[in-house]
Amino acid sequence: MKPTRQEQRRKTAFLALEDGSVFRGYAFGASCDAVGEVVFNTGMTGYQEIMSDPSYAGQFVVMTSPEIGNTGVNDADMEADRYYANGLIVHELNSPSSWRSENSLTASIESHAKPALGGIDTRGLTLKIRSCGSLKAYMAVSGSISEKEAIAKAAAWEGLDGQDYVSRVTCDQPWVWNENDSLTRFWGMTDSLPPADMRLVAYDFGIKHNILRHLRMSGFSVTVVPARTPADEVLAMKPDGVFLSNGPGDPAALGYAVDAARMLIGKIPLMGICLGHQILAQATGAETYRLKFGHHGCNHPVKHLQTGKVEITSQNHNFAVNTDTIDMNSIEITHINLNDGTVEGLAHRRASMFSVQYHPEAGPGPHDSNYLFRKFRDIIAS
């Protein structure tokens, strides 16, 4: 339930940043302190998909929309089996008012043992992140630590740079996506699935359920494999194509994934999304770098260079591919971000391989880029 006005005015919890700044508010969710990197997301809703997206592991998400919680939560919109973001930060926490709601945001956050802060000056916090870049922080909700101690803990935390967070979120064993779950629970459809006539292996670097839904709707039978699965084991499964998923952390720390991708290029059709895009870029010799405050939201304009069309996209990443390190003899830049000119899409000039930095499955977000899943199928069929 929504905290009372009296509880909100107390502002007994706080967020301590590594630079010494403190933002005060009230706690909701689980009563456990946590460390994380603070990023902001510009979506007006989608907080449940954000919290359950493994790509947000290690991060506190600030929702820039001032009112959060209106749509509640439900099982169908989960992007994974649990919440992976380290915590949530909002300004005004609202009670649910939606026919799809099965639970309140407060109760859901608590059931997943994640802390959250309400009553925060999210506009001021967002402006700080835009000015200073993503910051390490300590979320104090238990009442057991001073602000000075929390600031010190935030500064001492190792952060995300150079860290392999994929190993913390990937599956332990290969598994097959349940095709009966693809549409019936998410869109209420029962008879719209095409035959699964193409076999696909998907690397789980933190894969979202909505990606699996779209792959299945495109006619793929999807087997998900752990992030450290060697390329020869994947090829031995004799798939028609290989997919590299989204995921958290620093792409430069994933040498094992880059080695596997390098072995697969030219041997089988490949598609990558987000972290998968960065891994494929590294496998072709490019380098990645950290963005100042990343791209997090569902309204980022991306230009398709071949057609000139602009797609409104959903994005969630802190790192990007360095344009200057791309081998233009073998790799073509297919998409660019119209806000800052960063690389949003790549394609191999000779091998069957392409990737995008954004999320065409868009959970949450627009559907402008859904065609990319059909494009992958067409490449395999050609």
Asked if 142 and 189 sit in the same domain, the reply is no
| Contact call for residues 122 and 64 (beta carbons, < 8 A) | yes
The pLDDT value recorded for residue 86 is 98
Helix (H) / strand (E) element for 233: namely helix 231-236
Closest CA to 244 of 213, 286, 204: 204
161 domain-assigned = no
Q: Which amino acid is at 303?
A: K
The pLDDT value recorded for residue 23 is 98
The pLDDT value recorded for residue 12 is 86
Rounded Cα distance, 130 and 115, in Å: 24
In terms of phi and psi (left: phi > 0; alpha: psi -120 to 50; beta: otherwise), the region of 297 is left
Asked if 41 and 76 sit in the same domain, the reply is yes
Asked if 23 and 136 sit in the same domain, the reply is yes
Residues forming beta bridges with residue 118, ordered by sequence position: 26
Asked if 134 and 238 sit in the same domain, the reply is no
Total domains in the fold of the chain:
2
Asked if 239 and 183 sit in the same domain, the reply is yes
| Contact call for residues 108 and 78 (beta carbons, < 8 A) | no
Asked if 142 and 174 sit in the same domain, the reply is no
Asked if 34 and 78 sit in the same domain, the reply is yes
Which domain does 226 fall in, by range?
166-381
The pLDDT value recorded for residue 365 is 82
Asked if 271 and 356 sit in the same domain, the reply is yes
Domain finish residue from 126, 156, 186: 156
51 domain-assigned = yes
The torsion angles phi and psi of 110, rounded to 5 degrees, stand at: -65, -40
| Contact call for residues 125 and 38 (beta carbons, < 8 A) | yes
Asked if 109 and 186 sit in the same domain, the reply is no
- What pTM was computed for the model? 0.95
Q: List the alpha helices (DSSP H) in the chain.
A: 5-10, 47-51, 105-111, 122-132, 147-156, 166-169, 209-217, 231-236, 255-264, 275-283, 371-381
Domain finish residue from 127, 156, 185: 156
CATH code for the domain of 252? 3.40.50.880
Q: What are the residue numbers of the active site? A: 274, 359, 361
Asked if 223 and 81 sit in the same domain, the reply is no
Q: Which residue has the tokens 């508010």?
A: 25
Rounded Cα distance, 237 and 375, in Å: 23
Domain finish residue from 102, 129, 156: 156
Q: Which two tokens stand for residue 44?
A: 């007006």
pLDDT by residue for the chain (382 residues), tens only, comes to: 555 655 555 668 999 999 999 999 999 999 999 999 999 999 988 999 999 999 999 999 999 999 999 999 999 899 999 999 999 999 999 999 999 999 999 999 999 999 999 999 999 999 999 999 999 999 999 999 999 999 999 999 999 999 999 999 999 999 999 866 555 455 555 567 889 999 999 999 999 999 999 999 999 999 999 999 999 999 999 999 999 999 999 999 999 999 999 999 999 999 999 999 999 999 999 999 999 999 999 999 999 999 999 999 999 999 999 999 999 999 999 999 999 999 999 999 999 999 999 999 987 788 999 999 999 999 999 9
Asked if 125 and 170 sit in the same domain, the reply is no
